[in-house]
Each structure stands twice: as C-alpha cells, then as structure tokens.
Structure 1
C-alpha cells in the first residue's frame, strides 16, 4: 500500500508541477545550452557572460563556466524582435543602425572565422567574398552570403576587413526587413576591454573559441538587463552580479 501511495504522489507531482521551461519564451523553453549575458540596465555597454547547461528542458540550469566581462552595443540594449511585449516605459526596440545589442532570447547560428574548420555549418570568411547583408532593401537582409550574390549597390559588411571577425558566431536573430529591425548580430572578438560594439556581443578571442565549441551542438543566447530579470521568473539561472566596466 505504501508503495502505491508513493507512486500516486509522484504522479500528482508530475501533473501539477510544470517543467521549468513551460513558462519561458522560445527558444529558451526548449534549450539545454545557454549563453547568458546580463547587463546592469538597458543603457549599459558592458556586462557579464556565463555558460549554463541542463540535461533536459525540465531540469535546472547548472554553470558550465565562470562569469567574465563582455562588451555590448555603444548605445546599450534594445528589445529584439518577438520581445516587444517585455519592454517597459521608454525602453527601446531594436532597429537597423541603432548600435544597440538586441535584448531577448535568440538561437546561436554557425561559427565563422578566417581559417577553415570542420565544425558543422562553419563559414570560412574569404576576403572580397564573404559579406553580411545590412540593407533592408535586399531579400538577403540579415544573412551571411557572397558579394557576387548581391546587386552592386547593396549595403553589406565585408567580414574579412576586420580582425574582430577572425573568430566568431552568427546570432540567428529573427529580423524583419520591412520594418528595419536590425541585422548581422554576432558574437565576436572585442577590440579592447573598454570598446563597445556596433550592436554585437564581444569578448576575448580565447573565450570566443571556447564558445564556438560550446555552441556547436546548439545553444541559445540570452541578453537581459538586470532590471528586467523579474519579467522572466524561473527562466534564468542565478549568476554573479553584472557590472559595466
């Protein structure tokens, strides 16, 4: 009888206790690897990055690295596409050219770099060829492609022109070219520990390489100001207090 009671109690707990992921927004709700970036507030140009993992979306997050500093957009953060409902007051929404890092949860796409690699979907950056399209008039907006695929007047970032892209990862930011909601968001090498970005997440090269390996099997990037953590109850793991160096 006691065994039956124990079994029934466990079944009730399973039914009445939701998985940690069920109240969290996609793509975080199904993620098992997390790159968490927290900043003090929406105006911050720096913060902390820490890696987390969990066995399944129903399990709690456990640290997979220690926190370390990152640089963010020159104008701080702005809520990315699909996360407008979480903004409060006069907090900004991400737009093309605003030099803000998008806040929200986004899948991390392929790694890239100047040297060829056997990583899955890896993109080798080739001088004069590899570009990321920043022109909302182009149907290839917010994609990495070859210059030859574009019209001559199309605005695109020549990725081989900066050593900051010697190693990096493409953020699968679900932009909207009709409303010019931003494009070409990367995790890349920082210029200096004090230099903000044009809207990307930047960190030292050894940590970029470690992140390429961590995200190879799929990972989600979370960029959240500390002032908005309570808008995602139970979704985010605890982390050391972020700072804005």
Structure 2
C-alpha cells in the first residue's frame, strides 16, 4: 500500500492520512461478487474515470468528464455493452447516470469487471455520495458529499481502492 491508495478499513476509507466514513454494499464485502448480490467486491480496484454533473457542480478534477442528458450505464449481463457507459435510447437495461437526485452528481469509476466484463460478475462499482450515513449501496462505496469532493480533487487515474476480503462490515 502507498499513501496514495484508498484503503477500506473497519472505520471507513483511509486516504492521505485521513479516514472518511463510508458505506458499502448491502451484501457486505465478497470475493465472489455476482450481479445483483449487493456486495462490494474484495480486491484491488483502480480508478479509471470520473464523471460529474456540470449543471450542479464545478469540475472536480481536470480529467473529470461531464454527465450529459442521456448518459446511461448498461447493467444488463446478457447484453454486449454490459458494464459500459452507453447513450439513450438504449435497447437493454441500463441505469441512468443523470439522476433527479444528487446520488450521481460526482461518480468515480473503478475497473471492477471492466473494460472486458465477465457476464454476471457485477457491474458499475462506483465511488459516489451516500443517501445518508449508514445507508447501504448496491455494491458501491459511498461517502459524505464534501468528503467525496475532497477525495476526487486528490486522486488520479490509476489510484487504487483496496478492499480486503476479510473486511465484513
């Protein structure tokens, strides 16, 4: 581990000498992540992108890309674009990235099951804001909005998110 890693601990995510409270998937941490299990996958995951809502916030980092109307994330394991960003209209099941609520105003993308997705292993493990403290995600790692913005301004492409299989929060 390096000081530049995001490390999930029982107290939260440790990064650059600070610990940020975080929520995980409702299914806990699992080494054998599957689509729909609600688990946060164990392992070392690299940061591969950052998306933000330009109508709601300033660009959080010079490499962040805007979320546009019609941006979606394909979460249909039977479709060829599974676990990829796609555009509406789209013929398969996909999650809307430009949401009415602020959950995805800032989204940090990990390389979980990406870019060559194994169907059924789960899609879209993001770092995003939490609904409220302690509210579980569908497998993502979620933070208080101001903490997420602080982290986003200090990470880079390839920063590692380390999730220990032994962590069963």
Bucket of the pairwise TM-score, normalised by the shorter protein: 0.7 to 0.9
Q: Would you identify which runs of 4 or more consecutive aligned residues in structure 1 move more than 6 Å?
A: none
Gaps of 5+ in 2: none
Q: Of 14, 25, 44, which residue of structure 2 is paired with 1:105?
A: 44
Write the distance in 2 (CA, Å) between the matches of 1:141 and 1:179: 7
More helix by share: 1
Match of 2:13 in 1: 49
Does structure 1 residue 133 correspond to structure 2 residue 104? no
- Pair 37,178 (structure 1): closer, same or farther in 2 beyond 3 Å: closer
- Pair 183,205 (structure 1): closer, same or farther in 2 beyond 3 Å: same
Match of 1:7 in 2: none
Match of 1:123 in 2: 65
In our comparison, the structure showing a higher alpha carbon Rg is 1
Residues 120 and 216, structure 1, Cα contact 8 Å, conserved in 2: no
Q: Of 50, 65, 88, which residue of structure 2 is paired with 1:147?
A: 88
- Pair 177,110 (structure 1): closer, same or farther in 2 beyond 3 Å: closer
More strand by share: 2
Query: Normalization by structure 1: what TM-score?
Result: 0.60
- Pair 118,201 (structure 1): closer, same or farther in 2 beyond 3 Å: closer
CA RMSD of superposed structures (Å)? 2.3
Larger RCO (CA under 8 A, 6+ residues apart): 2
Q: Of 28, 38, 43, which residue of structure 1 is paired with 2:9?
A: 38
C-alpha displacement of 1:196: 0.6
C-alpha displacement of 1:194: 1.9
